[in-house]
Structure 1
Amino acid sequence: MRIPMDIIGSKEKAVAVIDVPEEQAEAAVEEIRKRYKHVKSILLKIGGREGVYRICNTKLIWGSQDTEVIHKENKYLLKLDPLRVYFSPREATERQRIAKLVKPNERVLVMFSGVAPYAIAIAKAQKDVEEIVCVDINLVATQYATENVKLNKLDDKIKVYCWDVREASGLGKFDRIIMPLPETGYQYIDVAHRSAKEHAIIHLYGISETKDFSDFEKKLKDYAQRFGIKIKILRKSKVSEYAPHKVKVRFDFQFL
């Protein structure tokens, strides 16, 4: 039986998040219990990410009610509860791609930063980064982010703020800005614009239904035009499959 799922955690304790019709859930649970002895809880997706906190709609269908885990990824640790915060282990490779682009002495802003996987990946890959600032409106996510910064001994490199990024102030300007909110991140391009140094690189994630990503490019440029903002796109990349006939994309660009 093929089971669409993510396993989050470690060899000692993990949580499986499955995406199957509810009538297939019981069979999926039995299969996972046989194959993955380290999985202590199984969550069923019952909807997409919802609300201002972007929490994935899931419910516990088997196992321990203690769904907090420590996820091991590329020699660093991420503590989180998949029932309470969003996290995708599938994007580990993408996080490494971005981390390797960061240059020494850069100031980096991560909007919608969640439990801080991008920030920690960057700080581990680029030891000479000047500072990484994480901003997220979700209090639970920022609490985990703060724990993860300490867990990985990166207090001197990463700062975490529980704010609505649109209302954030006093953070200064940045050499690189990461916007990993594919559904609506483009609507914060004005925030990125006022936070960017001259020649800053922006990494914006979005959703596309066309092979050349032209639909998302138009959406981005049309929204930027509302604020009189012009951009120069440096690179357009497919990140992953998102839904039937939809892909998650990353646009790297600069402001003109």
Structure 2
Amino acid sequence: MKKLFSLAACVALGANLFADVISVGATPVPHAEILEEVAKIVKEKGHELKIVEFNDYVLPNLAVDDDELDANFFQHKPYLDEFNKQKGTKLSAVAPVHLEPMGAYSKKIKDIKDLSNKALIYIPNDPTNESRALDILEQAGLIELDKNVELKTPLDVVKNPKNLEIKELEAAQLPRVLDECDLAVINSNYALAAKLNPTKDAVIIESKDSPYTNNLVVKTSNIDSEKTKVLVESINDARIKTFIEERYKGEIIPSF
């Protein structure tokens, strides 16, 4: 009986330890870096934060929807809304964390005025970031877009005075093609991972009043769970705001 009791106690302890682990999917920079700091606060609350890194924008959402992860942290709400619509997932943003200004980078020019006719430009291929990238090109005066379209693609360019060639590519691949093109519009998480500083290296940078704040995301049915509560309180802690401000020095801006 003592052996059975000891075995039962071990199983119960293991179950409790497992229940205390909170798993969050994230892209490496800056999300996983920020989560490393969040983990310290989560630990204070009696939980362990497990960070699972991804290099794409699809798998971390599917993993949360399939209950393989408790949350993820890598995306803005326009992307999330479109993902839910296209994939039938039921995910919700529960805490704003930071804004990553998107930028256009080049190894061939230092000033956007020097962009040549028929220049090759790469942009992200997912719907929301593609549209966001095209908006940046329009704001720089390079193209004009159809005002009646919400999520734009290169097909919605109505004026292209320089006859620019705009091609789509998976977001994570964009830093790798800078040698092959004249300009690439890159999400800041992938730019930072490639040692590109948005405020110093971007030829064009998105306005700081952009609506594309990155959020902590959970499965909608888990919004009120204890794990979600712990995550929200931890990631929006004042210490995380200070970390973002000091670590990224304006490259990334706290949203809380």
Same fold (TM over 0.5): no
TM-score normalised by structure 1 residue count: 0.32
TM-score normalised by structure 2 residue count: 0.32
- Give the structure with the larger helix fraction: 2
- Give the structure with the larger strand fraction: 1
